[in-house]
Amino acid sequence: MTGPRRRPPARPAAAPVDPGPPRPDPRDRLRRVLFLVPYAVRHPGCTVKDLARRCACTEKELLEDLDFLLNVGSPPFGPDDFLDVYVEGDRVHVALHQSFSRPPRFTESEAAALAAAAEGLGGEGRERAVKALRDSVPKDRRASFDELSRRIYAGAPPAPDSVLGRLQRAMADRRAVRLAYHSASRDAETDRVVHPYTLAQRFGHWYLYGHDEERGKPLAFRVDRIRGCQPLSQRFEPPGEAELSRMRLFSETSGEPASIRIAPGATAWAIARPGIRPVRREEDGGAVVEVTAGEEWATRFALSLGGQAEVVGPPAARRHFAERVRRTLARYRTT
């Protein structure tokens, strides 16, 4: 049993929670609180700022949550019932509680969403990981987890489980790997020593993002072009979390963007595709878009719209498109 409840010493009495406009879903606050309390217990004296960041809310919302917690377990419960939360300066202390020392189990949709993401990436540990997620759902929700898992399919893994498994182990151990990598530009297999930082998905493909030793800079490698992966003993220091997040936003930019004019019928479809940046809508309902993945990609994209798009600029990209279209048409002159 917990000891007597202490009122917060360093903070004026909690303002009553403003009933105000109704919150969209009271469960959102509870989700936050169920994470906030164990986190604050695990990290005594963590700052309001840090806690707010981890709970994905503003500092104001966080202080409201703490006020809310003070009201929990108030009469008719005894004074020793629940939590002792106080803020001292900018630091949060939670003490003398027992009930919420760890976060609750995964809900079936939390576990199923993470399982679907893991299934779409793959790796030797995939089945183990998915089973562990399933076991972390309350027992009588596991059937719902199974059902829901069959309703999301995030794609087929980009490489054999063995390749992905080795990459994941190397990332976890922070060890370099030797890759047998098929370079599309050279159409040849190359040998690379890479510090594997992270994996990211872009335009429907998985990429390994890592530092290429020989070239001395971070590069993106298409995972489906990695033919072999050997772990090395050499270790590396990974970049910080901010840089990792930035890497996820990489684009395969190569020079000036190409402009493509799209016919009205294909516009909605085309501008929704990944990697397409709308520039302007035409009066007839068509559109002009830009792509930055190079003129070859621009030509392929335009042709994939079945005659409803053409590359219009810059001149080099237009020439590339025109040349491709003429040469392709030449193949159809005979029947």
Q: How far is the CB of 318 from another protein (least distance, A)?
A: 8
Considering the complex, state which of residue 13 and residue 188 has its C-beta at the smaller distance from another protein: 188
- For 202, other C-beta atoms within 10 Å of its C-beta total 18
Considering the complex, state which of residue 15 and residue 332 has its C-beta at the smaller distance from another protein: 332
Q: How far is the CB of 335 from another protein (least distance, A)?
A: 7
Residues with Cβ within 8 Å of residue 274, at least 6 apart in sequence: 202, 203, 204
Considering the complex, state which of residue 91 and residue 182 has its C-beta at the smaller distance from another protein: 182
Going by the DSSP 8-state scheme, the letter that residue 31 receives in this structure is H
Q: How far is the CB of 225 from another protein (least distance, A)?
A: 8
Considering the complex, state which of residue 89 and residue 307 has its C-beta at the smaller distance from another protein: 307
Considering the complex, state which of residue 217 and residue 327 has its C-beta at the smaller distance from another protein: 327
The distance between the two most distant Cα atoms of the chain, rounded to a whole number of Å, is 92
Going by the DSSP 8-state scheme, the letter that residue 167 receives in this structure is H
Distances in Å between the Cα of 226 and the Cα atoms of 176, 192, 195 are 15, 10, 14
Q: How far is the CB of 43 from another protein (least distance, A)?
A: 10
- For 300, other C-beta atoms within 10 Å of its C-beta total 14
Considering the complex, state which of residue 110 and residue 290 has its C-beta at the smaller distance from another protein: 110
Q: How far is the CB of 17 from another protein (least distance, A)?
A: 7
Q: How far is the CB of 75 from another protein (least distance, A)?
A: 10
Q: Residues 100-105: contacts with CB within 8 Å, 24+ apart?
A: 100/34, 100/37, 100/38, 100/41, 101/37, 101/38, 101/41, 102/38, 103/34, 103/35, 103/38, 104/34, 105/136, 105/137, 105/138
Q: Cα separation of 236 and 191, whole Å?
A: 19
